[in-house]
Amino acid sequence: MPRNLEEVAKLAGVSTSTVSRVLNNVSVVKTSTRTRVLKAVAQLNYHPNLHARTLAGGKSRTIGMIASNMENPFFFDVFKALEAHAQASGYEVVVANTDYDPQHLVSSIRLMIGRRVAGLAVVVSEMDQELIQELAQSQIPCVFYDVGSARRNITNIRVDYRKGVERIVEYLYDLGHRSLAFIGHHSGLGPTSERERAFVASVSRHGSDVEWRTVVDRDGLDGGRNATRELLDGGFQPSAIICVNDFMAVGVLRELRERGLSVPGDVSVTGFDNIKLSEYSAPPLTTAHIPRAKIGELAFTALMQNEETVLPAGREVVIEPELVLRGSTGPAGRGAARKKVS
Amino acid sequence: MPRNLEEVAKLAGVSTSTVSRVLNNVSVVKTSTRTRVLKAVAQLNYHPNLHARTLAGGKSRTIGMIASNMENPFFFDVFKALEAHAQASGYEVVVANTDYDPQHLVSSIRLMIGRRVAGLAVVVSEMDQELIQELAQSQIPCVFYDVGSARRNITNIRVDYRKGVERIVEYLYDLGHRSLAFIGHHSGLGPTSERERAFVASVSRHGSDVEWRTVVDRDGLDGGRNATRELLDGGFQPSAIICVNDFMAVGVLRELRERGLSVPGDVSVTGFDNIKLSEYSAPPLTTAHIPRAKIGELAFTALMQNEETVLPAGREVVIEPELVLRGSTGPAGRGAARKKVS
DNA sequence: TTGAAAGCGCTACCAG
DNA sequence: CTGGTAGCGCTTTCAA
């Protein structure tokens, strides 16, 4: 029994305009009529139709966020920060999950455009040029994380993965590791992600001094575990495993544990992101910190500026990951020699 | 530059009605005009305004879900299942997080009503009668998980926590544990949750044969850790800790590990829910399985039936948790005697 | 301080 | 098979 303005107006003995006014706290309404209206609203259990509101008002109070995998705490943390700031400014945010599926990305973007969101944060690893074009043309203020480049209504936030991965590789190298594996995940588009390429570039720099392999699987606990199996069953015996993110690293830890390999005694493991879970794993993960909260905040403020200022030039913000040393890494050699994989 | 139907119609040389028809695949449109329209749509990068659509059409294609804490994988799993089924039927789902904050719950519900969602799944631990009333009056098909009772347009899904907790307590008791602690979380409303009450009821049955304590903290990794600290620093020395859910249990595991207490050697730990993470912790958690995927599915189908049938009597579905035995529990006694908390 | 009326962009019904 | 037109529920001038 969805009530509408008119019913409320009738019951309160005023016009719909007046009801609208009190509901929006606009242009002083006499206190007596205001209370009368409010009473009618309560009495009828009236809830304004947001679609009509948005349509009539012309502007939406919601901002969208599209992520690859909300199951991975990394994305969730970004979302939380974004939402916190949005709410503080009277916006609500609706999220869409792509599950790394390009097709899903497309429909999510279309959905957001259809909703006429006030702004859109796209936090996915890959995205083809055409889609970016489509979004740009929509005139919706956007902020991309880790994909595309700044332009018209689009702001760019990116992490210098190259540097982050490099730091990890060098750290491990200095610890004596010469046999490295990289565990990544599918990016939905193209087989190699930026992080994987950064890894290859880093290890390649050491020439034949270090042997390495990369393997990818789905993002997640199970993916990390499977990748480790594939790696170890394939006969490669890394002294250190570098994971594309903490989430997968936790899966790696489990598989290693179940095979009786100790971390970091036999194998060192590193994550990436520094999600809360990385402190809670056993052992806690050495990782590269990425400031998710700041990213969420940056995204929101970028969207807002973009909305106020009419089409400013796109900006670009680059974030540098910081190495966080914990118990999952240690010197190479000892363990590997002491124990064989079954 | 948000285009609209009229522009498309003009460019294609047809009426808006025709454009609407091809966009909705309704009533046969001549192939030639159809292609012409589609071309115009593409050319203008046109995206239909969903608000206008919903308003004009009268029915929304989105269903809402409200959860206490999407960060806890339990809720996310329910969401995923719900979304999967929804998408398959052409619905999208938008979620709202309450963070166990009653005030937040209220605004989320209002928001959903304002959106005129086609259905609403409420997955929160507590909710006051007034709100339920407000929702019931909205005529929106609802499904509640673990709260309130079935009525008009409302279906109820609940887990028999009583039985779940009881099974855990008995299992531990049989293992020789006589000193039990329960770690729960705030429910937002009232200090004691149903699970905590179930715990108290279970242990009380054994009279003075078992000593026990309960402590609550925020839901999450940190909450579990803090609660454990409070417990242990408070001088209570439980031989087993029963957690309200797996998520918090992982936090408990960490604190225990850092204090040099072995699990299950010194202390046994149990979780609840059987989330994926419970298999990946060290040691993996003994827990009670709750079929999240099934709950998500049930929720969706309930919503759909409720929508088709006009106001059927509310139904109620009860789910029984199943005990899952893993490495975090073992016989009592040995360890506790061998080691003292610092 | 309040009311009347013109849309917002789209669907749906009624003609043709 | 296609066009015209009346709303959907609300905001927003413009008058009063």
Report the chain B residue with the minimal C-alpha distance to residue A252. Answer: B280
Query: What was the pLDDT predicted at B256?
Result: 98
**Domain B161-290+324-341, CATH homologous superfamily name and number:** Response regulator (3.40.50.2300)
Sequence-distant (6+) residues with CB within 8 A of B114 are A47, A48, A49, A50, A53
Q: Which residues of chain A lie closer than 8 angstroms to B115, CB-CB?
A: 50-51
Q: Is A189 exposed, middle or buried (0-12, 13-18, 19+ CB in 10 A)?
A: middle
Q: Is B80 strand, coil or helix? A: helix
Strand C at less than 7 A from CB of B6:
yes
Contact status, residue A164 vs residue A196, Cβ threshold 8 Å: no
Distance (Å, rounded) from C-alpha B311 to C-alpha B308? Answer: 9
Query: What was the pLDDT predicted at A340?
Result: 40
Does A282 contact chain B (CB < 8 Å)? yes
The answer to whether domain B5-48 and domain B161-290+324-341 are alike in fold is: no
**Residues within 7 Å (Cβ) of strand D:** A 2, 4-6, 16-17, 20-21, 23-24, 26, 48-49, 52-53, 55-58; B 13-18, 21, 27-30, 32-34, 52, 55-56, 58
Which B residues 160-199 touch A at CB under 8 Å? none
Distance (Å, rounded) from C-alpha B7 to C-alpha A256? Answer: 61
Q: Identify nearest nucleotide to residue B27 by CA to C1′ distance.
A: D1
User: For residue B75, what are its two tokens?
Assistant: 């809720």
CB < 7 Å to strand C — which of 39-58 in chain A?
52, 55-56, 58
Strand partners, A121: A65, A143
Contact status, residue B242 vs residue B199, Cβ threshold 8 Å: yes
Gap from A112 CA to C10 C1', Å: 17
Q: How, if at all, do strands A322-324 and A287-289 pair?
A: antiparallel
Which A residues 214-243 touch B at CB under 8 Å? 221-222, 225
Distance (Å, rounded) from C-alpha B292 to C-alpha B76? Answer: 9
Contact status, residue B278 vs residue B284, Cβ threshold 8 Å: yes
Q: Is B283 strand, coil or helix? A: coil
Question: Angle A223-A226-A230 (CA atoms, 0-180°, nearest 5)?
Answer: 135
Does A114 contact chain B (CB < 8 Å)? yes
With bands split at pLDDT 50, 70 and 90, how would you rate the model's confidence at B312?
low
Amino acid (1-letter code) at residue A333: G
What is the four-CA torsion angle of B5, B9, B15, B16, rounded to 10 degrees?
-10
The whole-model pTM stands at 0.93
Report the chain B residue with the minimal C-alpha distance to residue A225. Answer: B280
What topology is assigned to A62-159+291-320 in CATH? Rossmann fold (3.40.50)
Over its C-alpha atoms, chain A yields an Rg (Å, rounded) of: 26
Closest residue to A49, CB basis, from B80, B116, B225: B116
Strand partners, B154: B142, B151
Please give the mean pLDDT across all residues of chain B: 91
Query: What was the pLDDT predicted at A337?
Result: 40
The tens-digit pLDDT sequence of chain A (342 residues) is: 779 999 999 999 999 999 999 999 988 899 999 999 999 999 999 999 999 999 999 889 999 999 999 999 999 999 999 999 999 999 999 999 999 999 999 999 999 999 999 999 999 988 888 899 899 889 899 999 987 666 667 889 989 999 999 999 999 999 999 999 999 998 776 667 888 999 999 999 998 999 999 999 999 999 999 999 999 999 999 999 999 999 999 999 999 999 999 999 999 999 999 999 999 999 999 999 999 999 999 999 999 987 665 445 568 899 999 999 999 999 987 544 444 443
Gap from A7 CA to C6 C1', Å: 21
Domain boundaries, chain B: 5-48, 62-159+291-320, 161-290+324-341
Q: Do A276 and B92 touch (CB under 8 A)?
A: no
Q: Is A262 strand, coil or helix? A: coil
Distance (Å, rounded) from C-alpha A130 to C-alpha A136? Answer: 10
Q: Which residues of A303-318 are buried (b: 16+ CB within 10 A; e: fewer)?
A: bbebeeeeeeebeebe
Which protein residue lies nearest to nucleotide D5, measured between its Cα and the C1' atom? B17
Q: Is A294 strand, coil or helix? A: helix
CA-closest candidate to residue A215, choices A243, A239, A257: A243
Does B136 contact chain A (CB < 8 Å)? no
CA-closest candidate to residue B46, choices B91, B92, B1: B1
Q: Which nucleotides of D are covered by protein (CB under 7 A)?
A: 1-5, 7-13
Distance (Å, rounded) from C-alpha B33 to C-alpha B14? Answer: 8
Q: Identify nearest nucleotide to residue B56 by CA to C1′ distance.
A: D8
Contact status, residue A145 vs residue A329, Cβ threshold 8 Å: no
Gap from A7 CA to D13 C1', Å: 23
pLDDT in tens, B195-237: 899 999 999 999 899 999 999 999 999 999 999 999 999 999 9
Given a cut of 50, is residue B275 above it in pLDDT?
A: yes
Does B52 contact chain A (CB < 8 Å)? yes
Q: Which of B7, B53, B55, B104 to mutate to test the interface with A (most CBs of A within 10 A)?
A: B55
Report the chain B residue with the minimal C-alpha distance to residue A56. Answer: B52
Higher pLDDT, B245 or A147: B245
Task: For CA atoms B156, B157, B160, B165, give the dihedral sign.
Answer: negative
Does B253 contact chain A (CB < 8 Å)? yes
Q: Do A45 and B138 touch (CB under 8 A)?
A: yes
Distance (Å, rounded) from C-alpha B130 to C-alpha B106? Answer: 10
Distance (Å, rounded) from C-alpha A182 to C-alpha A227? Answer: 10
Residue B342 Cα, gap to closest chain A Cα (Å): 21
Q: Which residues of chain A lie closer than 8 angstroms to B110, CB-CB?
A: 47
Gap from B285 CA to C9 C1', Å: 54
Q: Do A113 and B47 touch (CB under 8 A)?
A: yes
Distance (Å, rounded) from C-alpha A281 to C-alpha A297? Answer: 27
Q: Identify nearest nucleotide to residue B59 by CA to C1′ distance.
A: D8
Report the chain A residue with the minimal C-alpha distance to residue B275. Answer: A221
Task: For CA atoms A203, A204, A210, A213, give the dihedral sign.
Answer: positive
What CATH number is given for A5-48 in this structure? 1.10.260.40
pLDDT in tens, B41-85: 999 999 999 999 999 998 999 999 999 999 999 999 999 999 999
Q: Is A93 strand, coil or helix? A: strand
Task: For CA atoms B257, B261, B266, B269, give the dihedral sign.
Answer: negative
Is the backbone of residue B305 left (phi > 0), alpha (psi -120 to 50) or beta? Answer: alpha
CA-closest candidate to residue A166, choices A265, A63, A242: A242
Q: Which residues of chain B lie closer than 8 angstroms to A70, CB-CB?
A: 70, 76
